[in-house]
Structure 1
């Protein structure tokens, strides 16, 4: 990537060395591996979180920034190529980390399946379905700390891989210590009544960050990433008090089962829309629901549109750096938390904005309808509110 294409708040100080100037601090990064240049993978911002003030904002994750579908599929394929296919490893369980990595994780799983892999995919969630829960674990540095992993039914998991897996592949957007992924595997192993060391434990991430506190590397059988490096963040401003962390899942409503109870084959594309060649279309997923919106964006682009995909999030991020515009509103699911959509301003420049709803449709008075040229796409069986 040429220096001219770097964001104005980012400079390359030397080969593999970057510095991002943010409203409340300076983030310095030193890379030891870049399968793709770091600025193609991520940008940077400040998040409203007392435990970690800065945020690596992925350009290819379809979360805080609009992402071209081919870009996400490319990085997912690169990660999938690093994950071996060996029947000797026994049953394989893929786990996508809510909410940020759910779209990436299923895309990695789909690419791995296309290479001939067979296994079960499931996502952690902060939205109970009302079905049985296998176990819970905590992501301590997140604003919404609690994760659930539901128990698959025989229809979701016909080969009973969830209870027999000998290999667990956790997919996340980035990792520093890897403790959250290890906590997930430890909780899963405890639920099964086995030692975590009896499992082949793998972590696949876009970005791997090394720190002095890095003490968990030897506990993974394999650690896959596209970029690796270290960072230093120096605060230069005064931060407003961060909103309190949410220690429990939001049980105000029940989510669709979807991927939350596992699946043995990637989800299909549920919509077929008419498209005008050359139209600029933004496809928006809702919270943890992003893989089928990605499929839609890819399908629209294959038929002549220029498409992007991203999703709403409950992660509070401050304006500045990679975050040029912030929308906040009551959760689209009807639950009690606040939800955000980043970088979709009033003059967004899209010909169509397609909001893909997993379960409850937002009422007509919901602020999401303030987005110009918005169309709401329900899944079959979606309830009106």
Structure 2
């Protein structure tokens, strides 16, 4: 069965011909709406949306897009201004249960992620109602408003009210009247897929707005009216009665699939015979499999108690992994899949379905169950071709009753993924005659995904522990686009942390301070050095792009098909962004990426790990860095993860780092083991989003704080962070095939770490009389850091090393540091820091070491 048209016939034809009902208005109306007969004494006809995702299975992308576009219209309306200062950023969105809970949420998304609340017909113990209203024409009239934070409805900004159709305006007037009496405001916006008010109803709304002294706007995808002939209610009742008794002929037959209710007596149909059913409608053995979505802890399942922009960011970050798990659970060869939400639970299954549609070859459709009773007729000109009837399974306030799933039986689905909240995961759901049994009687494969029902803590509950803040993002923090990386750091931009390099070195080596307690003064490159950076980038961009491809393909194949990239700030962050871009370029994946702090001798930021564990499955986290030197950070991370698991009881984090280059042979996941110039090592913040290295100091970072860092906004004119990324990404197409091949070859090899670099560093430390491996910095990247941030003693360069070391030689010349060529060196170069930063100390050559 199609959507707007079945077998070339508009899905409102059957009702229009028999009742004389007409849709008059925009040409788009027939594409948006069909018609059916209500089993409701208050109204004869039902406008059935083709794009709402309630009664008619539809592409989830189409459903979500209609809501987003309405949100964009509201944003434009509130932002274009009448001089009153209203903007979309101050708006709160309210959706109507049950049909518009998902639509309202999508409108909130389109409005820029505005705070969202939907009405509910499910009372929740311990949660006081902040309001309520009646829906006069509905079969279930009472709506409750149960925000966790009552202040959500008390702001002065615009209130945006969303329903699937705007028919008479009575429901909206009741809502505004109730809320305006409690919390008056100046502006309301009413949003619907279709505005079907009569001129009289439109006039009544204008009068009401004048009465309360507020501006009320209406935004809709299409508008028109429904022309109803005299006596239509009585004719509709009679028509429903005839078909339910089976006395009407020539209708194409009813399709009451699997009902045991006396009111659903249309008999067996083709849909009933689609799949053999176990006696009594019970599930056959193994008839339902479950899908563990790993729903983020504490994330609301919808807007019943409010849904904030921070909640949306958490959901967006978790969706790829959850949809991936759903895709993996689909049976082999699945061709047509329905993701079926349940009543008010529309948004979460819609977003899951929309993601699933992107990552599977199967045709994916979305709809939800409903409490709305509608006559089903298997006729191409009728919008409701079949229905499944089953008992309510969420302990509803109005007691036991029937629920329905329309256009599922006979819909050609080979798999249904039923998504319910945990409140609805009851014995009634699994019982013979329950929803799962009804589905299994008509669809070969049934999967069940349970989303935890979010219930706010009661007011008398103990105060929650302090919540960690959401990640910092550009442009407020860093010059990267906000989707490129979220920084799990606190902003210390207003704190003076820089100290002269010599003072820092003396304090560090004397034990008076840790290197992470202060920052070096940012090196400002000369014109000659900047030219070297750009020439190095041009020369190495393809080589870097290939290494990015190799390491990303290895991660996707071996670590997780939906990794959460967590770069070690700050050197790892450009690499994390590049890996994220490769995954999108090559596979269409939109991977979450965060940057965290790790400090040698202090470990990784435990609060950042707590945040990650609360928002993602730790098993999906892949730590990312730019390169390895001797492997100190590799060991630091392993120790920190082990300690975190022991103290917090949180397991699943894999401490193995994925790096672009592994010259030290410290890890298994890398793009190359060659020690070559990665241009992002040539600069400091100006190639890393204008972010400083991280800071950990007791007077600035408390036990519940993220580690700190600074955003050097004043260096924007010298920033090449995005230019570096774009230059490398431009080479992705030319290296894609070779990177894929190299990754496959690499994965077939033994990549066990040999720790060759660590042994070399120990040897160099002894040979040069340093006796401290922390003062030996191997590799091009680490040597560059020594020259930029520390007090170097000398540079060891491998004999014959070429242009990769041009910038090293220039920096060494500028700082008066000797460069010594060495025949046997596993790295291109090694930077040596002054072994003892005190007057009178001597180096390995017996010469005095001075400032």
Q: Structure 1 length as normaliser, TM-score?
A: 0.81
Q: 1:366 to 1:28 in 2, by over 3 A?
A: same
Larger C-alpha radius of gyration, 1 or 2? 2
Q: Deviations over 1:167-207 (max 9, x none)?
A: 11001101122121121121112233x3xxx4301101011
Residue 223 of structure 1 is matched in structure 2 by: 218
Alpha-carbon distance, 1:307 to partner: 0.5
Of 409, 422, 432, 1:365 maps to 432
Alpha-carbon distance, 1:19 to partner: 6.0
Unpaired runs of 5+ residues, structure 1, are 12-17, 243-255
Question: Is 1:71 aligned to residue 68 of structure 2?
Answer: no
SS at match of 2:154: coil
Partners in 2 of 1:287 and 1:161 — Cα distance? 24
Of 351, 369, 390, 1:312 maps to 369
SS at match of 1:308: strand
Greater percentage in helix: 2
Of 390, 400, 410, 1:329 maps to 390
Partners in 2 of 1:180 and 1:27 — Cα distance? 23
Residue 299 of structure 1 is matched in structure 2 by: 355
Question: Is 1:27 aligned to residue 21 of structure 2?
Answer: yes
1:169–1:201: 8 Å Cα contact kept in structure 2?
yes
Residue 338 of structure 1 is matched in structure 2 by: 402
Q: Deviations over 1:8-30 (max 9, x none)?
A: 6649xxxxxx8653585121121
1:137–1:147: 8 Å Cα contact kept in structure 2?
yes
2:388–2:406: 8 Å Cα contact kept in structure 1?
yes
Q: 1:381 to 1:89 in 2, by over 3 A?
A: closer
In the comparison of the two structures, how many residue pairs are matched? Answer: 343
SS at match of 1:226: strand
1:177–1:216: 8 Å Cα contact kept in structure 2?
no
Unpaired runs of 5+ residues, structure 2, are 210-214, 245-299, 455-851
> Relative to structure 2, which stretch is displaced further, 259-268 or 56-65?
259-268
SS at match of 1:55: strand
Alpha-carbon distance, 1:278 to partner: 6.4
Q: Deviations over 1:38-94 (max 9, x none)?
A: 222111111112221101100001111101111112211221121035492263110
> Relative to structure 2, which stretch is displaced further, 300-309 or 232-241?
232-241
Partners in 2 of 1:22 and 1:331 — Cα distance? 32
Residue 15 of structure 1 is matched in structure 2 by: none
> Relative to structure 2, which stretch is displaced further, 276-285 or 131-140?
276-285
Q: 1:258 to 1:79 in 2, by over 3 A?
A: closer
Residue 352 of structure 1 is matched in structure 2 by: 415
Q: 1:309 to 1:260 in 2, by over 3 A?
A: same
2:301–2:421: 8 Å Cα contact kept in structure 1?
no
Residue 109 of structure 1 is matched in structure 2 by: 108
Q: Structure 2 length as normaliser, TM-score?
A: 0.38
Residue 690 of structure 2 is matched in structure 1 by: none
Q: 1:283 to 1:324 in 2, by over 3 A?
A: same
Q: 1:22 to 1:342 in 2, by over 3 A?
A: farther
SS at match of 2:102: helix
2:117–2:147: 8 Å Cα contact kept in structure 1?
no
Of 40, 51, 54, 1:60 maps to 51
The correspondence of residues 1-385 of structure 1 with structure 2, limited to 5 A, is 5=5, 10=10, 21=15, 25-31=19-25, 33-34=26-27, 37-84=28-75, 85-86=78-79, 88-89=85-86, 91-113=90-112, 119-130=114-125, 131-153=127-149, 160-192=151-183, 194=184, 198-214=185-201, 215-218=203-206, 219=209, 221-234=216-229, 235=232, 236=235, 238-239=238-239, 258-265=302-309, 267=312, 268=315, 269=319, 270-271=322-323, 272-273=325-326, 274=328, 275=330, 279-304=335-360, 305-320=362-377, 321-335=382-396, 336-345=400-409, 347-359=410-422, 360-361=424-425, 362-368=429-435, 369-371=437-439, 372=443, 373-380=445-452
Residue 251 of structure 1 is matched in structure 2 by: none
> Relative to structure 2, which stretch is displaced further, 266-275 or 96-105?
266-275
Partners in 2 of 1:122 and 1:105 — Cα distance? 8
SS at match of 1:51: coil
Higher RCO (C-alpha 8 Å, min separation 6): 1
Q: 1:212 to 1:50 in 2, by over 3 A?
A: farther
1:9–1:21: 8 Å Cα contact kept in structure 2?
no
1:98–1:124: 8 Å Cα contact kept in structure 2?
yes
Q: Deviations over 1:314-364 (max 9, x none)?
A: 01111232111121111121332321111111x432221000011232124
Q: 1:23 to 1:40 in 2, by over 3 A?
A: closer
1:22–1:46: 8 Å Cα contact kept in structure 2?
no
Partners in 1 of 2:406 and 2:391 — Cα distance? 15
1:82–1:224: 8 Å Cα contact kept in structure 2?
yes
Partners in 2 of 1:381 and 1:187 — Cα distance? 27
Q: Deviations over 1:253-273 (max 9, x none)?
A: xxx874211111264235532
Partners in 2 of 1:51 and 1:342 — Cα distance? 21
